[in-house]
Structure 1
């Protein structure tokens, strides 16, 4: 298996993404074929990884992916793997899924990849060494290779932090001075999408230069390791031979491992843009992924060609929507200002962003009716993350949906005729 490293942290917001993108680009510029990964359910970061490395990034999820599906992602090749963690290193759910709790530490244990901890040292000095030492001792099957000190205030601050690390015996791979300009724009679901970044190439080049100036790249490469092999299993089956896939700034949340698996098994993916008022092309089914329809609700409501084409398509062939795509299949979407926008009306769903409420977490669904690619009775694992409120959901429920602790959730999805939709994004089948 390819040797690698996991870039993690004690918490979100410590600077993992900046470090990850800078390292990917710096290593690529040095001629290293570095394969990026993202731990956990994230559909935004992999697009940034692709831009930085030139290689598609794939998710590794110990709660939602069966061992064989994880194994298939680990067989991507490259000279070195670099995986970006999610949240804090050990953060996951209480009840394990297929291979673990969803924590980045599970992937470290499964692959044998050592962890490089990005430490935000703002407001502390030697104390951050105690935090790093605690992380190193927390799980015996997870190796902490060393740390990158981030947001240092001064040379003295760096010296004190390094003294602490020497005391606990952890290498310092990098010391990054505080810089307010090295940030990526964000919105309510996380980072602004890569395709929307005003000058992404310049930003990534700046990150790479910054990491090269303040990080020991040679030592990082030498720390990469990996000795555990996970056999690849059966890939997720494509939902059809020809798949009409909505793809633009409003419909972009698709997991790379699913698209790659569909391609690998001979499916033809036919992208179209609802925002450009394009109807679904001729295909076996239409798939509307999630994204940011609430930011483009007026344009979608005015896209008469798209809406008419979608309704005509749904009269004879299956249509499925996930999260944002599900909302667009509904009757109406109320935006943050309280304006009601008419959607496709293929389902009775009405959603609102006027009073936002976060819905976040893993989902286990037992289908009561088929969706494209899965029969009634199938058990699916996925993830839900949105801020919309359901005002009406009158159609027959699509599934019994629970969270990772087996508690039922009201976002059951809907079905009507050949049209189905869910709030959760499918990751893989559950055993």
Structure 2
């Protein structure tokens, strides 16, 4: 049976969805509900606040990045063990990916699309400033624009006075929508923001905890929680997303090809290079190796299970080190995955500078056989026996001096990359691998400098892999998302990771491939590309098998 849900949406960005959703998650939890928190779209920051409020990782539901068919299974997976879900929308209710060929009113990736897929009602949060009787017309439009989306009620936000509230309530009554809450203007609840939105909860520290508690108090005092809980519905059912099943197909492919399938060799470990001809006329040199990861043959430790799935490079059992709730690292993240028995060590950067990531990424890595160890590049060294490195997104530009001061780690990462170990770097990870970031020395793996730029780069991309790497094969297509205000300068000519068409049809080549390093501004969702994660773990397992791993003395601080 599906967990009932309520979707928090708004007519436009800036209406107060995050405050309402976070406070609602906290208030419902305080009232005794086990709440599953979700965010529509690719946003990494809001789920951090959701996670603080819920005591479990906030998760994303993005039809663009994972495919429409995966939204419901991912919802069922993330809501397991809960009795209620709160889904925060993105932008305005009907806003989504802009497509001139779109048929119908529901844009891809919109809150409306996700609400329809879940069969869940929408509560519309309205910024009441400047509204009076005309609010009725606005609500009428949203209620009738698409009948597949059901408005269950309204929450009035930033109400100026009792008289103002009376007028607004009358407008809602006129169109038959119940008012489920009315919140006064409280500027002190504003969470600090900067160039890419809210400051992530893990960076905001104790102030984030205080802010979440204040949001919870506000919603508990001014929203009808019983009415919200009674409104919640979901019409979906079926199998939940299963990370082990997702990577099992890759394992079966490797076993079917047998021992003579393509595999990593000692030559690869020594850092050999190759040039691949890119599709679509790019013809870009890869600057990396023709990796050939997956499929490869079986070896000791590979085994098929009763249902036909198989482990990759050892048992499909591993546990990540516990990170903060805001970073999505609580034990709830692990689901049914068993305690560790072995497998390659994947070092995953975390801490204040690397806060952007999806909970499903770690789950897939572990399901593919990896032991995931989270470390903080601001102060830590690489974990012992590191066989692969994941550098996710975040705000390294805010911590460049401290990152540069950890010279021992920078040296180790540079040596790791030179040894040919698999490295997956997205956005912040790309910046960390450059020669310098805003004048501060970085790892120097990617032959470019990075600096804070004059404009925001934002949007979905339909990308094609321009060369083989530990994650992708030449010509494979993926949907990703860019979200940054930094840029690369003084970049040497090198192999690009991705190619796509720009808004005017121009060819864009982006990212860098250096040996087995795949570095790019493009954020991808691992749940939408599980084979890439399985290949990455297989690459790490092979390097661990031949002994090409990074070893350091002493425990990680």
User: Structure 2-normalised TM-score?
Assistant: 0.72
Please state if 1:119 is matched with 2:218.
no
Take 1:147 and 1:252, find their aligned partners in 2: how far apart are those partners? 33
1:401 CA displacement: 2.8
Deviation of 1:325 after TM superposition, in Å, equals: 0.8
**Structure with more of its chain in strand, by fraction:** 1
2:192 aligns with 185
Distance 1:183 1:243, change over 3 A: same
The reply on whether 1:35 has 2:36 as its aligned counterpart is yes
2:404 maps to which of 301, 304, 317: 301
CA distance in 1, matches of 2:345, 2:197: 32
Larger Rg: 2
CA distance, structure 1, for counterparts of residue 501 and residue 242 of structure 2: 25
Q: What is the distance in 1 between the residues matched to 2:112 and 2:23? A: 22
Aligned pair 1:382/2:480, yes or no? yes
The residue number in structure 2 matching 1:418 is 516
Q: Does 1:273 align with 2:274?
A: no
Instruction: Tell me which moved more, 251-260 or 17-26.
Output: 251-260
Match of 2:95 in 1: 91
Matching residue of 2:216? 208
Indicate how the Cα distance of structure 1 residues 117 and 230 shifts in structure 2: closer, same or farther if over 3 A, else same: farther
Superposed, 1:19-418 pairs within 5 Å as 19-75=20-76, 76-77=79-80, 78-95=82-99, 101-197=108-204, 198-229=206-237, 231-232=239-240, 235=243, 237=247, 241-279=344-382, 281-316=384-419, 317-334=421-438, 340-353=439-452, 355-393=453-491, 394-402=493-501, 407-408=505-506, 410=508, 412-418=510-516
Bigger Cα displacement from structure 2, 253-262 vs 185-194: 253-262
Assess if the C-alpha contact under 8 Å between 1:250 and 1:275 holds in 2: yes
Q: 8 Å contact 1:69–1:232 — kept in the other structure?
A: no
CA distance, structure 2, for counterparts of residue 409 and residue 173 of structure 1: 49
Residue ranges of structure 2 left out of the alignment (5+ in a row):
251-292, 294-312, 314-343, 532-557
Q: Distance in 2 between matches of 1:384 and 1:343?
A: 22
Contact 2:71/2:117, CA 8 A, preserved across alignment: no
> Displacement, 1:109?
0.7
Partners of 1:319 and 1:283 lie apart in 2 by: 11
Post-superposition shift, 1:164?
0.5
Aligned 8 A contact 1:381 1:430 in 2: no
Decide whether aligned partners of structure 1 residues 79 and 232 sit closer, same or farther in structure 2, where only a CA change above 3 A counts: closer
Q: Tell me the SS of whatever aligns to 1:206.
A: helix
TM-score by length of structure 1 reads 0.92
Name the CA distance, whole Å, in 2 between partners of 1:72 and 1:406. 36
Distance 2:434 2:384 in 1: 21
Number of equivalenced pairs: 423
> Is this contact kept in 1: 2:498–2:509, CA < 8 A?
no
Coordinate RMSD, CA, aligned: 2.3
> Structure 1: 5+ residue runs without aligned partners?
335-339
3-state DSSP class of the match of 1:106? helix
Q: Distance in 1 between matches of 2:168 and 2:128?
A: 8
CA distance in 1, matches of 2:86, 2:509: 35
Assess if the C-alpha contact under 8 Å between 1:39 and 1:84 holds in 2: yes
User: Whole-Å Cα distance in 2 between the matches of residues 24 and 222 of structure 1?
Assistant: 15
Distance in structure 2 (CA, Å) of the matches to 1:46 and 1:256:
10
Describe the superposition over 1:21-60 as per-residue Cα deviations: whole angstroms up to 9, x where unpaired: 1111111111101111000001111111111011222110
Please tell me whether the aligned partners of residues 280 and 309 of structure 1 are also in contact (alpha carbons under 8 angstroms): no
